[in-house]
A = this chain, B = another copy of it.
Amino acid sequence: MTKDRKIRLGAFVRGPGHHVAAWRHPDVPANPGLSFQHYADAARTAERGLFDMVFLADSLSARNGEQPIETFERTGHVVHFEPLTLLSALSTITQRIGLVATASTTYWEPFHLARLFASVDHLSGGRTGWNDVTSADAPAAANFSRDQHPVHADRYDRAEEFVAVAQKLWDSWDDDAFVADKASGIAIERHGIHAPDHVGRHFRVKGPLNVARPPQGHPVIVQAGSSDAGQQLAARTAEVVFTAHPTLESARGFYTELKGRLGGFGRSADSLKIMPGVFPVVAPTRTEAEDKFDAIQRLVDPVVGVALVSGLLGGVDLSGHPLDGPLPELGSSDAVKSRLKVVSELAASRNLTIRQLYLAIAGARGHFQIVGTPKDVADMMEEWFTGGAADGFNVMPPILPTGLTDFVDLVIPELQRRGLFRTAYEGRTLRENLGLARPVRGAAEHQERKAS
């Protein structure tokens, strides 16, 4: 470990917090998903804690139509802000923290999305990141005039072209193309114009973009796919990977494999930061931490618990199976493959009943869960960080705002004391703080030409 290497931290802000019963907790405000004050407080707390970024998830549907009303009416956080508009608003009340939003390449158009992210990068002075995901859920398809979502392989093919088009659009202009010379009347340096003129399998996009090159060159590219196709896409284009691992061994295997793929794309190991999700329930003593966790677990409605397991398994019907019996045998499916693997392995490895399984994942949902003292959490992070399993972590507070405040007040000082975490922001942009290079204009396109 070099002296300069520091843990990277994301604050994964989900309105009520990550625990499935978070919305019922007395510390959580009612319907926080549409309270700007709530998100503003969380972003300010994360910035006070010197987090690299705020991370927002997304989905393109509110309801799976096949979900029974008994489950749906018990579901918290069904409605919330659209992430890019929320980030734009947050950009005005923060100064240094990165702002990462999730958006799907399956149902967006590259021109719209590249433009929105470029705009937020300008609004925030270079603090944006894009978590590009593909959409696997049928309910989203039904909101976009499609009968079915595309199959896994096609989604990734589209995703790869989508990211390439977005990068070309961000590279539409030299950084100094807009000379705005009032005396001569020349507004744009003509050699600084580089329209993409993209013609591909999925998209034809002429350009140029009607936003100047983003302050970061490109917003930071974040990804979360763990399938083989997902890893290839990440190895080629991602700069941050958010991933779910319930054990150190699983995380280490993923870390080794993904870092190993970078060379094939001419990339160095440190050009991609791997950040597993961590769900921390932290308190000054272990007893207090366990009590805190129990208080949340007690709020899980069995109807919701079973639906959670079923949902993570791609909609498997568990209604005929007793709560205190084992998970039934599962076939393979085109649904979110990585989650399926994680959840079913978890159930098998610990011999869990359905009830035990939903309580085991009601918080972290397949991510690493830790209930303990600040030292326990720092120990775990240090072990993963120095043991070849992580460059940092996406912190998933169980409830908000207190779960994040606890982490900032209790864990951050311990990480700083150990020299594992910054004591001040190093730079002004998200790239600078993450230690990622600013992309040279046209480099992605150049690489594409070489490859073909």
Contact = CB atoms under 8 A, between A and B. Distances in A.
Given A26-B182, A86-B119, A62 B145 contact: no
Contact of A188 (B25, B75, B111): B75
Grouping DSSP codes into helix (H, G, I), strand (E, B) and loop, the A interface class, with mixed when no group exceeds half, is: loop
Contacts of A195: 63, 65
Contacts of A203: 145
A72 interface: yes
A164 to B, nearest CB: 14
A293 B84 CA distance: 40
A250 B107 CA distance: 43
A229 interface: no
A287 interface: no
Interface stretch (A206-214, A233-241, A261-269, A333-341): A206-214
A112 B108 contact: yes
Interface in A78-119: 78-82, 84-86, 88-89, 91-93, 107-109, 111-112, 115-116, 118-119
A24 interface: yes
A253 to B, nearest CB: 35
A143 B118 CA distance: 16
A89 B59 contact: no
Interface in A22-81: 23-26, 30-31, 34, 36, 59-63, 65, 69, 72-76, 78-81
A428 interface: no
Nearest to A83: B119
Contact of A187 (B76, B123, B182, B186): B76
Contacts of A34: 122, 211-212
Contact of A143 (B73, B108, B205): B205
Contact of A73 (B62, B109, B118, B186): B186
A249 interface: no
Chain A interface extent, by class: 35 or more
- Scoring A65, A88, A172 by chain B CB atoms within 10 A of each residue's CB, the highest score goes to A88
Contact of A111 (B74, B93, B144, B205): B144
Given A86-B88, A187-B78, A208-B62, A31 B69 contact: no
Nearest to A146: B204
A97 to B, nearest CB: 16
A304 B375 CA distance: 67
A180 B62 CA distance: 16
Contact of A79 (B75, B178, B189): B178
A190 interface: yes
A208 to B, nearest CB: 5
Contacts of A120: 85
Contacts of A143: 111, 205-207
Contact of A123 (B26, B60, B89, B122): B89
A436 interface: no
B212 A79 contact: yes
A254 interface: no
Nearest to A214: B34
Given A62-B207, A109-B144, 5 more contacts: A34-B122, A36-B92, A73-B187, A79-B212, A85-B116
**Interchain residue pairs A-B with the least CB separation, the first 6:** A88-B88, A142-B206, A62-B210, A82-B119, A85-B88, A30-B180
25 contacts: A30-B182, A31-B178, A31-B212, A34-B122, A36-B122, A62-B207, A62-B210, A72-B190, A74-B186, A75-B188, A76-B180, A78-B178, A78-B210, A79-B211, A79-B212, A81-B119, A85-B116, A85-B123, A108-B112, A109-B144, A111-B144, A142-B204, A145-B203, A145-B204, A185-B301
